[in-house]
Amino acid sequence: MEETGHDVTDKEKALEKAFEWGDRIPIGILYKREGPLYRDILPQLAEKPLVKQKIEDTNITAMMESLM
């Protein structure tokens, strides 16, 4: 995609490119958005991944009551 001058910041154009089929199939980075990583915006993930965190002492009573 770099050789064609494709703008990777244009989401609409990236979607159009993704649907191009024929003699040539577009490959490479079609769309790229700059921003914080998902893990960096969640305080729960600051120390370690959720899968490695203990949940035995987690109290979800207040959250469950708020849903009723």
The domain locations on the chain are: 2-66
CB 61 within 8 A of CB 67: no
Look at residue 14 in the predicted model and tell me its pLDDT. Answer: 92
How crowded is residue 17: how many other Cβ atoms within 10 Å of its Cβ?
19
**Whole-number percent of the chain with pLDDT over 70:** 97
At 3-36, the pLDDT tens digits run 788 899 999 999 998 898 888 888 888 999 899 8
